Amino acid sequence: MTQPVFFAHANGFPSATYGKLFAALEPDYRVQHLEQHGHDPRFPVNDNWSNLVDELIHHLQGAAEPVWGVGHSLGGVLHYHAALKCPQLYRGVVMLDSPVLTLADQVVIRAAKRFGFIDRITPAGRTLGRREEFSDLDEARGYFSAKSLFRRFDPDCLEAYVRHGLQPAGNSLRLRFDPATEISIYRSVPHTSPGRPQQLQVPLAMVRGRHSRVVLPHHARLVKRVPKGEYLTLPGGHMFPLERPQDTAALLRRLFSRWSGQAEEVRSA
């Protein structure tokens, strides 16, 4: 039977960018997603991403059954917070290079917001003033392929970003993901959480890119407080789901299969 997966993307990367990952999960898993988080006027970006969590919950509540929640970066945090608030909507949660923040992390973020240096500890500062418009797809493809963030992308994922991350604007192409929204999301990164890790009632896996500078060793230690928590790694950096989409899908399949088997053992015990 096909099982539902609800995927939540990283900040600035529309869900269609991950099409190769979604295809690798078919036909056993049916992937649902929002095209772009943070763009629904009913759920404007606010501090600590609480409206974005509510946006995700709103769509999960329309699902016929609990889902496997999978999120990359921003998306992983949204699923983690949503699962703390509404565990009945989930079978389990996988955070792809998304950290569960420690108290020390939260104190630093709160101070960064208060004293105005949040742009230095998030990608917001690097996002300010970046190029938003291109004459055609070839120009955009050349521009992004030369950037370090995209250099290790799977070619199909880079092509998906170029084709789905831009939209017509007059005689040119502009970024589909609103740059002001992207910056606002970075600046409102959570310094609070709806609950503590030990309160999470569903299985959780934090998967780190081996060369990531976002998920750090102290985040891995915090996952041990989750009753059904585990920490895994895959080759690559913070963008590993778009660098190695098929390896990521294979890991997700193994996790879901194992978690489903454990659930069956509990029910039959």
Give dist(CA 152, CA 133) in Å, integer: 23
> Which pLDDT band, with edges at 50, 70 and 90, does 266 fall under?
low
Instruction: List, for residues 113-166, the tens digit of each pLDDT value.
Output: 999 999 999 998 888 878 999 999 999 999 999 999 999 999 999 999 999 999
Structure letter (DSSP) for residue 152? T
pLDDT at 268: 63
Q: Which two tokens stand for residue 158?
A: 């880079």
Assign 3-state DSSP to the chain and report helix, strand, coil percentages, each to 5: 45, 15, 35
Question: Is 76 exposed, middle or buried (CB count within 10 Å of its CB: 0-12, 13-18, 19+)?
Answer: buried
Q: Which one, of 26, 33, 15, lies nearest residue 157 by Cα? A: 15
Residues contacting 230, CB < 8 A, separation 6+ = 203, 204, 205, 206, 223
Asked if residue 79 lies in contact with residue 70, where contact means CB atoms within 8 angstroms, the answer is yes
pTM: 0.96
Task: Kindly report which listed range (51-55, 188-192, 222-226, 251-255) carries the lowest average pLDDT score.
Answer: 222-226
Would you list the domain boundaries of the chain?
Answer: 3-268
Instruction: List, for residues 193-239, the tens digit of each pLDDT value.
Output: 999 999 999 999 999 999 999 999 999 999 989 999 999 999 999 99
pLDDT at 267: 65
Task: Tell me which architecture the domain covering 3-268 has in CATH.
Answer: 3-Layer(aba) Sandwich (3.40)
> Which pLDDT band, with edges at 50, 70 and 90, does 43 fall under?
very high
4 phi, psi to nearest 5 deg: -85, 135
Residue 227 CB neighbour total at 10 angstroms: 12
Chain-wide mean pLDDT for the chain?
A: 95
Block residue for tokens 């890119």: 209
pLDDT at 126: 81
Query: Is residue 245 reached through a cis peptide bond, with omega within 30 degrees of 0 on the bond before it?
Result: no
